Amino acid sequence: MGRLSGKRAIVTGAGSGIGRASARLFAAEGAKVVAVDLVEAAVDETAEMIRKDGGTVSSVAADVSDENAVKAFVQHSVDQHGGVDVLFANAGISGGLVPLQEQTVPYWQQILAVNLIGPFLAIKYASPHMLAQGKGSIICTASVAGLRANAGATAYSASKAGVISLVQTVANEFYGSGVRVNAICPGLIETGMTKPIFDGARARGSDDKIGQLNPMKRYGLPPEIAHAALFLASDDASYVNGQAIAVDGGLSSTHPFAGRR
């Protein structure tokens, strides 16, 4: 029996990176997965990987900031798999490292729409099914950038701080319901979103320094975040609620310091 046997799970941003790793792991652990991503070809590829591994999955191309699209993919899980037990609202964008004075209102609106309004909408439409059954797990991808400065650009960091507040607030709004709401705060993970950082370091020949500021002196990989999500999705985390859990090699455990030998 897998840790998610019999559960119905929705994973957004499932076309690559953390979302793809999580969708595959959830399915391998027995969940019936609805994989969601803006890019249809990418999410279809994730679904094909899961099917080849013997998992149960359906894929949906959707914009997580579009209310009707979110309502539709939640209903898809209900129609195809009979309900929703796990929601991993993972989809996000970075917006790049744009200097503050060059940032525009549309730039902020796009980042907030995907990174913060997206999780809100997913919770809004998935949670009634969980509340009705008296149990469920909601997980949102935040970031160490939402905990404190210097881990991301301004708008991105603000959006992820908002995700942490959203999780804490909703966990209390669902008081006594049996529905848990938590956030994962990844550190530097090699994904499509962070590709420019890695490409730049490798072009400079300094790729051995990537992730050097955390005590483990390395960057993370998507499966490492996926396993944290699996824990939160499973009954193993039955008493974990309203938390923002950093999975960052220890980066957020300390104040800035000069590199050690």
Q: Which residues belong to the active site?
A: 156
Residue partners of 224: CB distance under 8 A and separation at least 6: 189, 247
Indicate the angle between helix axes 40-52 and 17-28, nearest 10 degrees: 30
Tell me which amino acid residue 109 is: Q
Q: What is the strand order of the sheet 244-247 is part of?
A: 56-61, 32-37, 8-12, 86-89, 136-141, 179-186, 244-247
Residue partners of 121: CB distance under 8 A and separation at least 6: 64, 65, 67, 70, 71
**C-alpha distances in Å from residue 108, one per residue of 113, 120, 157:** 8, 17, 11
What number of other Cβ atoms are within 10 A of residue 70's Cβ? 27
Sort 208 into a burial class: Cβ within 10 Å, 0-12 / 13-18 / 19+: exposed
